[in-house]
Amino acid sequence: MAGRDRIVEMLEALVTRGDIAGAATLVWRGGKVVQSAAVGWGDREASLLLGRDSLFRIASLTKPVTSVAAMMLMEEGRFQLDDAISGVAPEFVEMRALRTPGAALDDTGPAERPITFRDLMTHRSGLTYGAFHPGSLAEAYRAALGGDIDSPVAPDDWIAGLAALPLVDQPGAGFHYGHSTDLLGQLIARMEGMSLGEVLQRRIFEPLGMEDTSFGIPTDKRGRRAAMYGFDPDGKSVRLSVAPGGATVADRPADMTYESGGAGLW
């Protein structure tokens, strides 16, 4: 890009004001990289600059990756979009739904129809994120699943725990952002007979040469991790603490087998 890089200038101003800690950009046009930059901090508190090779937790951008893998299986005839997921996860054969979104956990009625793969892929399954419903439902989700991203609960137990929770709506009745794609990822793993990470590596990352994308960061790459930031009430960036001891990002335990198809990728 000739002359001033206006993208960099804009981002530098945002970093200076404290609106963001840092940002990496790349513009691809006509088969060529026409702009790329890394501006600001990868870890502001540790005075570590952001690099072109910094590793970000992509959180919910994991969802489209998991969905691509699911569509590959669908194209291979492993399932159809309107198949009931209970064919792969019999834990979901007899579901119950809250009579109203804010109802008590025991104020439920039977699900009017099975949850389908299409429901999972369009967030119309009746599953949610517990954090969206403070109180007893949030507590039940936390107890059953062990966390929204990394979880110590083994995959089969995670599926069973989710199936034991009431749906917040009838299947297909409305959009509820939540654990639908996490469940989709676990169903993919069951169908393939391997972990979700192995499925994504074989079907997507390896063919595309994505060498740095995975559910965990190897020890030799951990120095490239970017810290995670959110916003305070005034709209300024603040570091998020999501791990014991104030660490922004917890190291994934080597024995953790659950992989979040909805939010876990780096």
Contact by Cβ (8 Å): 11, 23: yes
Residues comprising the chain, all counted = 266
Q: What are the DSSP calls for 167-179, one per residue? A: BSS-TTSS---ST
244: amino acid identity, one letter:
P
Alpha carbons within 13 angstroms on the beta-carbon side of residue 183 total 32
Pick the catalytic residue from 60, 67, 214, 237.
60
Distances (CA, A) of 47 to 44, 92, 108, 118, 239: 5, 48, 52, 45, 13
Yes or no: say if 191 and 142 are a contact pair by the CB < 8 Å rule.
no
* Separation in Å, CA 262 to CA 42, 235, 258: 24, 26, 12
Instruction: Reply yes or no on whether 195 is catalytic.
Output: no
Which of the residues are catalytic? 60
